[in-house]
């Protein structure tokens, strides 16, 4: 890693490296050559040299590059570059915002190169900045988005199941409207959000009922029902037996069918 204000026609390569090298151009211009294909690169642009590819680049004769570069590798490299839109046949990107922090994070990594943990954090921030600013950014696949929304809603329910949860609460954490939230949730789980919440509460209640030291009132309160009678009624509707009967059967080690469906 380092910085360099190139003299006119300064060149590097042809060379093959075993890791990625990314350059951010402060000013100037030049040409990057990958697989005999030329790519012009100018001020505030990024270019990436991929591993195991013959690479050559040269600064302009009249307005040569001034750039910073760093080396990176790892299992996440290909994934992040894909999100940025960088590919072997598209190795150059131009950040959207002029106030981007790409060069800042690269400079921080350079200045603190002996502080491993800090550099790792800065490298993630660097990639995040690129992902958020590239015009080549790929639109997320609808399936990926739906999986992301569903996970966020399921995580929310597992954390807040003993509280009053409305569909609107789930919609807010995903930035969706109520009808879309219900549609996405049901497509993923086979249940509406309220059906799933009720089934999840019953599932958690069953776990607590197996402990004879815990009162049924406490179990009801713990899963979001402060009326023991209402809890018993809902529990029986879902399981076919009362909480007391469930506790007795569980204490006898008898197998009890699970009808919650989650």
Provide the b/e sequence for 55-89 (b: ≥16 CB within 10 Å). Answer: bbbbbbeeebbebbbbebeeeebeebbebbebeee
CATH number at residue 164: 1.10.10.60
Same domain (yes/no): 64, 112 = yes
Phi-psi region of 52 (alpha: psi -120 to 50; beta: other; left: phi over 0): left
**Is 57 contained in some domain?**
yes
Q: Do 191 and 88 fall within a single domain? A: no
Residue 228 resides in a domain: yes
Residue 65 domain-assigned (yes or no): yes
Q: What is the pLDDT along the chain (262 residues), one digit of tens a residue?
A: 789 999 999 999 898 888 899 999 999 999 999 988 999 999 988 899 988 889 999 999 999 999 999 988 877 777 788 888 888 888 998 876 777 788 888 889 888 888 888 888 888 888 888 888 776 555 555 667 788 899 999 999 999 999 999 999 999 988 888 999 999 999 999 999 999 999 999 999 999 999 999 999 999 999 999 999 999 999 999 999 999 999 999 888 877 766 666 7
Task: Provide the domain limits for residue 191.
Answer: 143-251
71 in the same domain as 15: yes
Residues 163 and 119 in one domain: no
Q: What is the pTM of this model?
A: 0.52
Residues 107 and 219 in one domain: no
188 & 81 share domain = no
Contacts of 156 (CB under 8 A, 6+ apart): 165, 169, 170, 173
Instruction: Give the burial string for 12-22 (b: 16+ CB within 10 Å, else e).
Output: beeeebeebbb
In a domain? residue 138 = no
- Identify whether 258 is part of a domain: no
The CATH number of the domain where 126 resides is what?
2.60.120.280
Number of domains in the chain: 2
């Amino acid at each position: 890693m380092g910085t360099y204000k190139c003299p006119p026609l300064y060149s590097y390569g042809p060379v093959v490296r075993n890791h990625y090298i990314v350059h951010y151009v402060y000013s100037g211009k030049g040409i990057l050559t990958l697989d005999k294909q030329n790519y012009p690169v100018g001020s505030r642009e990024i270019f990436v040299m991929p591993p195991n590819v013959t690479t050559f680049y040269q600064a302009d004769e009249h307005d040569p590059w001034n750039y910073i570069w760093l080396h990176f590798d790892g299992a996440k490299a290909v994934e992040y570059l894909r999100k940025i839109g960088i590919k072997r046949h598209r190795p150059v990107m131009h950040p959207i915002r002029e106030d981007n922090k790409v060069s800042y994070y690269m400079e921080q990594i350079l200045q603190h190169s002996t502080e491993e943990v800090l550099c790792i954090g800065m490298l993630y921030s660097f990639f995040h900045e690129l992902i958020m600013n590239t015009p080549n950014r790929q639109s997320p696949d609808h399936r990926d988005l739906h999986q992301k929304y569903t996970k966020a809603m399921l995580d929310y329910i597992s954390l807040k199941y003993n509280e009053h949860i409305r569909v609107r609460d789930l919609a807010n954490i995903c930035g969706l409207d109520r009808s879309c939230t219900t549609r996405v949730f049901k497509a993923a789980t086979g249940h509406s959000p309220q059906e799933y919440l009720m089934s999840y509460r019953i599932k958690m209640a069953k776990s607590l009922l197996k402990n004879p030291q815990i009162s049924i009132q406490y179990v009801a309160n713990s899963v979001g029902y402060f009326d023991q009678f209402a809890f018993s009624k809902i529990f029986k509707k879902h399981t076919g037996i009362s909480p007391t009967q469930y506790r007795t059967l569980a204490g006898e080690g008898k197998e009890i069918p699970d009808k919650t469906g989650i």
